Structure formats: structure tokens, C-alpha cells
Amino acid sequence: MTAHLEALAYQPNWWPILTSAFMGNALIGGTIVALAAGLIGYFVVVRQTAFAAHALAHIGFPGATGAVLLGMPVAAGLGVFCVGGALVIGVLGKRAAEREVVTGTVLALASGLGLFFNSMATKSSSTVTNVLFGNLLAISHNQLVSFAILLVVLGLSVGIIYRPLLFSSVNAQVAEAKGVPVRVLSMMFMALLGLTVTMAVQAVGTLLLFALVVTPAATAIMLTPRPVMAMVTSTAISLSAVWLGLGASAMFNLPPSFPIVTIACAIWSAVWVINRRRRTAAQPSEKSTDASPTTSTRPASAAPGT
């Protein structure tokens, strides 16, 4: 009992910890992941692929444990499974309702496979914990290099497809009618999401990824309806969660994923409550500007027609 309490206590030497080499790697790695999450998160929310993002993190699990089994780098296994899984979800689930079931089924299969691979390997219980919950403090120099490359690829790709992707995300039917390659963009987006998840899993892990990729974007959308502003705000929230979280982990000797996720969720809750109050207050004025207050959601009344 006392040992547990001591582990939670304030660390007077937190500043040297925070400025140490491994913490430096953690800060850089966390920053890159936060930037990547900010780029992709808005689109995840608008395209309603939050569940797919969550599932992809799980799909990475057998990739990681399988890589350990084969003596390959964990990141490589994660990448193959996340991007591959993203493309499978993209091909199989075109309609949202269908996608839910496809995604969930692939998720379950992947988790089972991950457990199986892990049971085959011998010295991997720490791998499982790292994959499930992430470990920013264990990020290596090589991982940082791969993160940086992935971020550049992601930034360039999103920069190039930004407007058609936004168009097809907001209004796929109209975009398709205008000649936007909606299906190609959808597959490209899934691949980019797979890359982001590959990175983010290494930072915060499979189980907590949602809080770093989806939650900040959802928070930002509550704050602003402007796409670019939402992406900037979302990135800022992810960055503060990562930086404050790492600071807290140094101060109180906590696994960094815990404070990072807690901060992201706390910001979301606060904004959600404020937003709800503001809307309730704004409701009457919004109603009065409504051109047709009688408009309801019921189907059109059958006019004197057939």
C-alpha cells in the first residue's frame, strides 16, 4: 500500500527528469503525434469514421505482437496492419451502416489474433502493455525519425487533397456529381488515417488513441465551425494535452498516457458543458430567425395528391 502511495507522490526532481534525454524524445514524439492528429482528426469527425479510427488502433495490436513473434520492429507490424486494415474497411464498408458492422467484425478478429500471437511469443508482456497503453517515454531516436517522415507525408498529402477531401467529406453526393474522385479520396483518407494511427498507437496506445485523435477534433468543432480553425484548435488541444501530460508524468511519476488522455477528456467535458449551456441560452433567438418556424422533421404531408 505504502509503495503505491509513494509512487504517486510529488517528485521534487521533476525538472531534471523533464529535461532529460528520454523526456526530450518523448516531447518531440508527442508533439509530432499531436500535429498529425490535428491534421486528420477534423476529417475523422466530419466523415463519421471515429469508430474506424478506434478500431484501427485495435487492428494494429496483432501487427505489433506478430512483429515481436517474427523478430521484426513493432512499428513495422503496426504500420502494415493499420494501413492494411484501413484499406479493408474503406473497400468493404461504403455505407455508414454497413461500415459499423464490418469495422466491428474486423476489430474483434484482430484483437483475438493479437492475443494469439502474444501467447505464442515468450517475453512480450511488456510489449502488450506498451501497445495497449502506449509509452511515450520509451520512444527511440529511430522512431522519431520515422514519425517525422510520416508527419511530412501526412502534411503534404492533406495539403494536396484538402479541398476535394473536405468537399467529399461534407457532401459526398454533390462532390461526386461535380467530378471529384470520391472513392479514391476515401481510400487515400483511410490510408492516411492508418499512418496516423500507427504513430499515435506508439505514443498513447491502442486503448487510449481515441482521446488524442478524435476527442480534440470533436472539442474543436464545438468551438468553431470553420474547418481550418477547427484543425488549428484541435492541434492546440492535442499539443497541450501531450505537453501538460508529460509534465504531470514527470512531476508525479505517472505513466504519461494517463495524464495526456485525462487532460484531453477534461477539455472536451468542459467545452461540452459550456457549449450546451450557450446553446440552450441561444435557442429562442435562433428560433425567431427561422424563416419557417413550422418546419418539422415529419415527412411532407400528403398534399391533395396521389
Partner 1 sequence: MSLSDVSAAPAALAFTDVRAVRGGRLIWSQANFTVPAGGIVAVIGPNGSGKTTLLHMVLGLVPAASGHLEVFGRPPGQANDSIGYVPQHYAESSGEAIRAADVVLLGLTGRRWAFGRSTAAQRRQVAQALAAVEASEIAGRRLSTLSGGQRQRIALAEALVAQPKLLILDEPLASLDLHSQRDIVALLARLHAELAVTILVVAHDLNPLLPILDSAIYLLDGHPHYAPIHDVVDEELLTHLYGTPIQVAHTPHGELYMQSTL
**Residue 167, number of CB atoms within 10 A of its CB:** 17
Cβ closest to partner 1, residue 96 vs residue 149: 96
CB of 182 to partner 1, least distance (A): 10
Cβ closest to partner 1, residue 175 vs residue 248: 175
What does the DSSP assignment read for 57-88?
HHHHHHHHHHHHHHT--HHHHHHHHHHHHHHH
CB of 235 to partner 1, least distance (A): 15
**Residue 33, number of CB atoms within 10 A of its CB:** 30
Under a CB-based contact definition with an 8 Å cutoff, are residues 246 and 23 in contact?
A: yes
Cβ closest to partner 1, residue 5 vs residue 302: 302
CB of 36 to partner 1, least distance (A): 16
CB of 53 to partner 1, least distance (A): 15
Q: Interface with partner 1 by CB under 8 A: which residues?
A: 42, 45-48, 96, 159-164, 166-171, 173-180, 221, 225-227, 230, 286, 289-306
Cβ closest to partner 1, residue 48 vs residue 126: 48
Tell me how far apart the alpha carbons of residues 283 and 116 are, in angstroms, rounded to a whole number. 53
Q: What is the largest CA-CA distance in the chain?
A: 80
CB of 97 to partner 1, least distance (A): 12
Cβ closest to partner 1, residue 175 vs residue 212: 175
> Under DSSP, is residue 205 helix (H, G, I), strand (E, B) or coil?
coil
Task: Tell me which residue of 4, 123, 109 sits closest to 59, measured CA to CA.
Answer: 109
